[in-house]
Structure formats: C-alpha cells, structure tokens
Structure 1
C-alpha cells in the first residue's frame, strides 16, 4: 500500500464519520437528553439527575479509548472497530428512544457511550497516520467543518421535525429525532468505510515503541493534553444546561426549540472560521490561532451572564461560534503534531481523547452546583457555572504557550 504522501486521502471522506457523530451528539446531549430527563424526574431535580447521568457515563470515554486504541495498535486494524462500535451505538440510541423511565434510559445511554468510544478511539488515529504533518491543518479544518455541519444539520432536523409534528405530518418529534440520529450515524460510517483505506502497517512497525508511563514525560503531549482538558471543562460546564438556562434566565417560552436556534447560531459562526483556521494554522502555526479562538470563547462565556434577551444570546452564540470553529479546526492538528511515536498512534490519540471526555465528569458537580445556587438565590447557579467556564477557557489560552516543539 502507498503511503499518505504518495496516495493522499480525501480529507472530507476521511472525517465524514465525525460528521455523523457530531449530528448524533448535538441532538442527544443538549436537546433530547435534557428534555427526557425533565420528563422522567421533574423540574426540581433536573440538574442533579442530568449531571449524574452525564457524569457517570463519562467514565466510559475516560477508560475505554486508551485500552481500545492500544489493542488496535497491536492488531494493526482501525476500521473493524468502527463497524462494531456503530452497531452498539445504534442499539443504544434505539434503547433510549424506547425508554419510558429514567433508569432504562440511563442504561441505554451507557451503551451509546460504549459503542461510540469503541468506534472513535481507533478512528482518531487516521489523521496522523494518513495525513502528512504539512497538510494536517487542512485535514483538521475539514474535520472541524464537518463536525460543525453535523451540528448544524442536527439543529435544523430538530426544528423541521417539530414543524412537521405541528402540521400533523409526524405523530411525535421525539421518536423521529432518535430515528434520524441512528440513520445519520450509520450512513456516515458506511461512507467512511467504503472510501478510507486501512493505514499501512509499515510506518507503525518502523517507529520506536513508547511506554504508557513515558507518554506524559513528552512535554508537548503533556501540555496539549492539559490545555485540551481545560477547554473541554469550559464546554461541559455549561453545554448540558443550555436548555435550562434559556428557560430560567432568558425566559424563552419553548426552551427545547430555542436551544436549537442558539446552537445553530454557534454553528453558523463556527462554519465561517473552521476551514479558514485550519489553513491559517498550516502557515502561521497552531498556537496563534488557539490564542485568538480561546480568548473569544472566554469573553463570550462571560457575556452570556448579561444577555438581556434571546436575540442578544443568539448574537453572543454567533461570536462564540467564531472562536469555537477556529479552535476546533486547529485542535486536532495540534494533537496530531504532538504525538511522540507512530508505533502507538491509536493508543496515544485514545489517551489524548480522554482530555475531550474526562471533563464530562464535571457535569455531575456542575449540576449539583446549579441546583444549589438556584436554591440560594434566583439564577445564582447559572452565574456559578458560566463563571467557571470563563476560568477554564482563560487557563487553556494562557497555558497553551507551554507546548514546546509545536508552532
């Protein structure tokens, strides 16, 4: 098999499964899951039970990707894991759709997490294995843009299904949305599997081996891991609770629909900056783009506390999206550049992937903090969780300068 330099892989087809996965998570996390949790447990405990569900389930992406990645490195295969992971993921989505109480819903979501991480841990190694370093900004930008497009179409799908229910075309929006999640996830995986080759094993066998314990002694990897975790902490401090924020603070009459508009505004801004950010980073380096993008995200998280109306919240979401899109377009390229050895790309990208998902554990204490703060004073809980997001984003921007050997 030819190497990536002589046989380039189309970056859009390479990252197409990220499109389906983004569509999947966009509809599940901020829209379907919060609405179902309220339906199952009521208003008074919604933050606690949502935080519990997301926090406990985050143990799976915390533990599984490095283990599956290491096994994928050993057997020399990436794509079979995508097949079986998507099957389990789709079964979990079906279980969530059929659930009528909280605990079966919770268990089905655990299966979703298990399948999605089984699929994505080896899949994460494909960009560093199939794309040369000088083109990774472009590939990372394509990946970021596809993720944002998946989120955009997820938001549009939620709005359209709601309209179709209102017009009497569909009997229920919830079941139609779960069905769409499964169809898009399976379809994007099928296109990826048909168009992306297994990476050549020769480049892995020729690379030096690196122990697990030595990985975090590699300074570039250590700081990329820590800063990515900080940005994820900022994101997960507020993302699961946006629907509650719009209903309680901004006082929109239909928060489940309004959160779709807010997230679409974020995606619109991100789409503008995603592909441009990746290409710019190939010329000027990854870190300058992250300084600007992360700084804008921190400012916007602060501004959300003072949004007097839904229109202003939409404008802030658009600005946040500009930062988020640029950050997403560069983030994967920076992580790939920091990998110390081609021998263990899947394992090491799986460990780096922990920095994305371990911060989901913050949803449990943040959910408790939200309910506690709101019990002390009206909407104090939202001030606390948005304020903590500002701190996390700002720390990520400040500490990215410690990444040595990567522009």
Structure 2
C-alpha cells in the first residue's frame, strides 16, 4: 500500500516539530557548555583543544555517515516511529554514561568512558532524527510546508535560547554537573513524547511510500532540484560556520569586551531572538510567494550583517547587527526545510535523501579548522585582518547561496513554478 502527503494523516505542526525543540536544547547545552568544561577537567588546560577537537570531529563524522544509512533502512520498511523510540533510548543512555563519567570519574580513564557516552549519544540521536527528518515531506502537502518548516525553525531557535538561559542559570546557581545532564535528558524526552503521541500510528501502517523509484546516489545528485538545494545549503552553512566559532574572540579582540563569554552569550541571544521572530513569518510568507524570494532577502541580510560587523562602532551596534543576522537566519531556516522537502525526487526514499541533504549542513562544520588558521594568520599581519578575511568570506558564501538558489526549480502548490498559473 502506498500513500502521498495529501492522503497522509493530519498532524499538528507543533507536535510534529516538538522533538526538534528538544534536540536543539540538547546540543546547545551539551556541545557549547558542558563538553568544553568537562574535557578541561579530564585532560587539563594544555591538551583541552586537541581532545575536544578530536571528540567533536568524531561526532561530526558519525553525523555525516549514519543518517543516510539509517534513513535508507527506514524507507525500506516504511516505518519511522520505532526508529525514533530506539534512538531516543540510546541517546538517553549515552547521556547517563556521560553524566556518570563527568561526576564520578577523573583522569584519562574517566575521559574514555565519557567518549563512550558521547558516541552513544551521537548514534542514538542520529538513529532517531534520520527517519524523523522524513516526516515533513512525507506528511505535509507542498502548499503547507512553509508553515510547518517555520514552526520547526522557531521551535529549534526557542530550544537553543532556553538552552543558553539554562546554562546561565546553572552556572549562576553553581548546580552540580549531574543536574545539567538530567535537565538535558528531561528536555529531550518530554518533547520526543509529544511528537511520538502527536504523530498518528497510521504512519507506520501505511507501508513504504509511493511516488517514484529510489534513485541511486549518482542519479540523486543529477536531479537538478536536489543538487542545487544541496549546494546552496552547503554555502549558507559555510557562511554560518565561518563566523560562529569565532564570535567570542571577535568580542574580545575587536569590540574590546573583557568578559568574552558573557558578551558572546548576549550576542547569541540577540541572534536567536531575531531568528524566532522571523522563522514563523518567513515560513508562512513562502507558502504564498514562493521559497526563493524569502531566501534572497534572508541571505542578503546575513551577508550585510557579516560585513557590517567589521565596522561596528560599538558593542551595542554589534548587538543590533547580530539581531539583523538572526532575522535573516530565522527566515532562511524556516524556508530551507520546506525547499529541501520540495526538492526530494522520490517519496520512496524520503528518509535517505533527507539524511543526505542533512550532510550539506554538517559537513561545513569541518571548515572551522582552516578558517581558524586563516584568522590567526591574518591577525598576525596586524589590523585585525583575520576577522576581515573570515567575515568577508562568510558574506561571499551567503551571497553565492543567494545567487545559486535561483537555479532551483521551485515548486508551488505541488507544481513547478513555471507551470503555476
């Protein structure tokens, strides 16, 4: 038995995207707050960068490899929910192992137990989210994907904001590390249960989806809508990761902020609040006027913010530019998922193809190392040249994404844009 999004059971956009809220909270608090501090405690100040970098690199590799494999397996069975349940369980078990190592163990022995827990977290989260990523294209008709994608983007941003606020509260109250791991587990579990209860069980009883054959990888990238959506997502992600890892250094070196961590947290909060404001609006607008006009405006705003940060006269001005970047980023994120869903070539391979599409966001994270080297080299020349180079390159990536997204044959209400009307 086969099905199409139009015939799929209805599900609330808030319930469908609740798990994304939990994963956003999970990764922000874990990757940006807990892991850097825990690695220092295990290996010391002198080796912290090396060991944290290796840990994050291994995690990124798992995020690159697992989603297409697990997604393809989910497509063959036509089932989604069992994968989410099992992946969630492994993820929670991994958090328990990491929390135990962080609170009860010391030295390199404790570090390797911590690594084991992190690998379980990565495996479980990717095992769950690969099939989960297929639910929007599988269940939502094309004319509604902008609204659903906007809700997803807004919930992700809200999860990140709450994660940042929670990290601040935990530090302010000097709560034990175990409390933070318990909070992450709770904030992952509850939204996941909302999604599992909100998505009808009929999804797993309909069998593999119809809508064309499963394309081999070579033919998948020969499919023009998928290819150009993949390329433009890579470019936008490269722009994001050209700037994001170095914001704390920028605050200290360029804006002369003594408390780099605090000033960067405020700047990130401005970005996240801006993205929450624009996420839902951008998604709704894209259902009416198309995806690409929203991306043109969003990419232009992010490129402008990256360049203007180089000449920001003060910290408050930089915060205003951070909010502008957030407005662009939220609008882009809200449309990005909808455009990606529209570009999937076959309903029979939604989870596999969405997993491959996700690689376009994960792989550019590996660019932080050469960008960091460029930053150091440029700054060594004097005049904060490194920041000019890195932020300038980010703007070029955003602008290239805006230009090349024109090649995507956008679909409106289930038809090619050129056929509409």
1:57 equivalent among 56, 59, 78: 59
Structure 2 gaps, min length 5: 412-416
Contact 2:76 2:208 in 1 (8 A): no
1:143 matches 2:148: no
Contact 1:301 1:389 in 2 (8 A): yes
* 1:119 matched residue in structure 2: 128
Contact 1:38 1:46 in 2 (8 A): yes
- Matched residue SS, 1:15: helix
Residue 236 (structure 1) shift:
1.9
C-alpha distance in 2, partners of 1:101/1:315?
43
* 2:16 matched residue in structure 1: 14
1:390 equivalent among 378, 389, 395: 395
Contact 2:229 2:340 in 1 (8 A): yes
* 2:414 matched residue in structure 1: none
Once the two structures are superposed, the pairs formed by residues 14-33 of structure 1 within 5 Å of their partners are: 14-33=16-35
* 2:88 matched residue in structure 1: 86
- Matched residue SS, 1:63: helix
Once the two structures are superposed, the pairs formed by residues 38-53 of structure 1 within 5 Å of their partners are: 50-53=52-55
Once the two structures are superposed, the pairs formed by residues 190-205 of structure 1 within 5 Å of their partners are: 190-198=193-201, 199=203, 201=206, 204-205=209-210
Cα gap change, 1:113 to 1:249, in 2 (>3 Å): farther
C-alpha distance in 1, partners of 2:121/2:392?
30
C-alpha distance in 2, partners of 1:108/1:393?
36
RMSD: 2.7
Cα gap change, 1:176 to 1:63, in 2 (>3 Å): same
Residue 44 (structure 1) shift:
7.4
Contact 1:31 1:260 in 2 (8 A): no
2:118 equivalent among 85, 109, 126: 109
* 1:228 matched residue in structure 2: 233
Cα gap change, 1:308 to 1:111, in 2 (>3 Å): farther
Contact 2:4 2:210 in 1 (8 A): no
1:363 equivalent among 359, 368, 385: 368
Cα gap change, 1:180 to 1:257, in 2 (>3 Å): farther
Cα gap change, 1:380 to 1:84, in 2 (>3 Å): farther
TM-score normalised to structure 2 length: 0.86
Structure 1 gaps, min length 5: none
Residue 164 (structure 1) shift:
2.4
C-alpha distance in 1, partners of 2:239/2:36?
19
Contact 1:270 1:326 in 2 (8 A): yes
1:182 equivalent among 159, 180, 185: 185
C-alpha distance in 1, partners of 2:184/2:149?
24
C-alpha distance in 1, partners of 2:116/2:72?
26
Cα gap change, 1:304 to 1:46, in 2 (>3 Å): farther
Deviates more, 1:388-397 or 1:88-97: 88-97
C-alpha distance in 1, partners of 2:312/2:10?
46
* 1:275 matched residue in structure 2: 280
1:213 equivalent among 207, 211, 218: 218
* 1:301 matched residue in structure 2: 306
Cα gap change, 1:303 to 1:52, in 2 (>3 Å): farther
C-alpha distance in 1, partners of 2:161/2:88?
21
C-alpha distance in 1, partners of 2:288/2:47?
49
